Amino acid sequence: MYVERLVCVNCGNEFSPDDVVYECRCGSLLDVVYDYEEIKDHLDIQKFRKTPPTVWKYADFLPAPKKVSLGEGGTPLLPCKRLGEMLSAPSLYIKNEGQNPTGSFKDRGMTVGVSKALTLGFGMVACASTGNTSASLAAYAARAGMRCFVFLPAGKVAAGKLAQALIYGAEVIPIDANFDVCLSIVREVCREAGIYLLNSVNPFRLEGQKTIAFEIFDQLGRVPDTIVVPVGNGGNIFAIWKGFMELREVGLTDEVPRMIGVQAEGANPIVRTLVAGSRELEVVERPETVATAIRIGRPVNWMKTLRAIRESGGTAISVSDDEILRAQEILARVEGIFVEPASAASLAGLKKLVFEGEVEKDETVVCIATGHGLKDPSVVTSRISLPEPVPPNMDEVFRRIRTRM
């Protein structure tokens, strides 16, 4: 392990990586710092280039030894020529995180976070979640033989995600409140009850998620110009940016991409904060969107998010629920990639960015498809109705298909 220390992103205060600490005395979150010179000295570039990508390929850049895994990472980076041409962004790629073990990018964080929990000697883990975090944590906790508690906004979690948390045996605790309230509750629960917290306030979990950047670099053979990411709590956009910064730090590249965050119009605190040029977070008290995964009004990682966006020369934009649903449909129909609404936000955002001249034709753009479409089938079945049944009669069958050819 080349991990050195935890550093507060606000005041620079330092902690040991063996401390169970999620925030600094000043209230801000912590980041993990490594001995990059050591990593650089030990990096076998030939072997590195030949090894196929998975989360644990990048163990040198991770803060805990591998203790629990479900075969996460190694998701495809899919060139989308036809869709790219339709959108005037011909060098478009989709990083399909829906192909992770529980169907979202959260698995990259949980393999590392739960491994860290085991290393620290915890027997219980918990999180608040809009759905995917709970599905992922429940699976990794099951695999590790740990007790798992998940706090969910009652009635606002997609059916597939809820089914996952239940079948993996987590203790599901629905709360009559939104995600932001659930998170403040679980933070207190973990403080009081000796349970390890695995929301993105946990500095180690995000370390696993930065492997998205390493994989994109490996698969593309270079750093893309622009990364477009849906933003909820804002942990993932920071993690991906950090991954690219580390590749530069160890001398594998000179480039860092521009990080662009996309939020739903009804849940866009980061966009509001950027537009206002504010030093404080512009909280959205009652977040609302069809993309329930990113129905978040008080993103705990807001400082990290703004740093990634500002330092990379990026931006953040909002898209409407209607734009999100149309992007979801077009991605499925034109490229055969079915993503959940929150993930489609990145594509809806790209469309808008091209229209506004923010993204140019010659740019290589990677949209992060964060979660699988099967997580939330009701958004599709409530929009696209099932055709009337046809009697088992060949004349009737041919009549039906001729009208559709």
Task: State the Cα–Cα distance between residues 56 and 72, nearest whole angstrom.
Answer: 8
Residue 48's Cβ-count burial label (10 Å; 0-12, 13-18, 19+) is middle
Told to check if 231 binds ligand AN7 by CB under 6 A, we report yes
Residue 201 Cβ, how far from ligand AN7 at the closest point, in Å? 11
Q: Which stretch binds ligand AN7 (CB under 6 A): 23-31, 247-255, 340-348, 392-400?
A: 340-348
Half-sphere exposure of 284 (CA within 13 A, CB side): 25
The single residue among 78, 227, 294, 319 that binds ligand AN7, judged by CB under 6 A, is: 294
For residue 230, what are the β-bridge partners? 262
Told to check if 164 binds ligand AN7 by CB under 6 A, we report no
Q: Which stretch binds ligand AN7 (CB under 6 A): 6-14, 73-81, 224-232, 395-403?
A: 224-232
Residue 43's Cβ-count burial label (10 Å; 0-12, 13-18, 19+) is middle
The single residue among 75, 178, 318, 370 that binds ligand AN7, judged by CB under 6 A, is: 370
Told to check if 203 binds ligand AN7 by CB under 6 A, we report no
Task: Please identify, using beta-carbon distances, which residue of 116 and 372 lies nearer to ligand AN7.
Answer: 372
The single residue among 75, 100, 111, 130 that binds ligand AN7, judged by CB under 6 A, is: 130
Told to check if 132 binds ligand AN7 by CB under 6 A, we report yes
Task: Please identify, using beta-carbon distances, which residue of 160 and 224 lies nearer to ligand AN7.
Answer: 160
Pairing of strands 196-197, 226-230: unpaired
Told to check if 90 binds ligand AN7 by CB under 6 A, we report no
Task: Please identify, using beta-carbon distances, which residue of 232 and 243 lies nearer to ligand AN7.
Answer: 232
Half-sphere exposure of 163 (CA within 13 A, CB side): 9
Instruction: Say if CB 153 and CB 134 are below 8 A apart.
Output: no
Told to check if 233 binds ligand AN7 by CB under 6 A, we report yes
Residue 234's Cβ-count burial label (10 Å; 0-12, 13-18, 19+) is buried
Residue whose token pair is 């570039």: 45
Residue 79 Cβ, how far from ligand AN7 at the closest point, in Å? 22
Told to check if 371 binds ligand AN7 by CB under 6 A, we report yes
The single residue among 32, 342, 347, 367 that binds ligand AN7, judged by CB under 6 A, is: 342
Residue 127 Cβ, how far from ligand AN7 at the closest point, in Å? 7
Amino acid present at 268: N
Beta-carbon neighbour count of residue 278 at 10 Å? Answer: 11
Residue among 110, 154, 100 nearest 131 (CA): 154
Told to check if 234 binds ligand AN7 by CB under 6 A, we report yes
**3-state SS string over 57-121?**
HHHHHCCCCCCCCCCCCCCCEEECHHHHHHCCCCCEEEEEHHHCCCCECHHHHHHHHHHHHHHHC
Q: Which stretch binds ligand AN7 (CB under 6 A): 62-70, 217-225, 227-235, 383-391?
A: 227-235
Task: Please identify, using beta-carbon distances, which residue of 2 and 196 lies nearer to ligand AN7.
Answer: 196
Instruction: Say if CB 146 and CB 123 are below 8 A apart.
Output: yes
Q: Which stretch binds ligand AN7 (CB under 6 A): 37-45, 52-60, 68-76, 337-345?
A: 337-345
Q: What is the DSSP letter of 279?
A: S
The single residue among 293, 325, 347, 365 that binds ligand AN7, judged by CB under 6 A, is: 293
Residue 343 Cβ, how far from ligand AN7 at the closest point, in Å? 5
> Which residues of this chain interact with ligand AN7, rule CB under 6 A?
104, 129-133, 200, 230-236, 293-294, 340, 342-343, 370-371
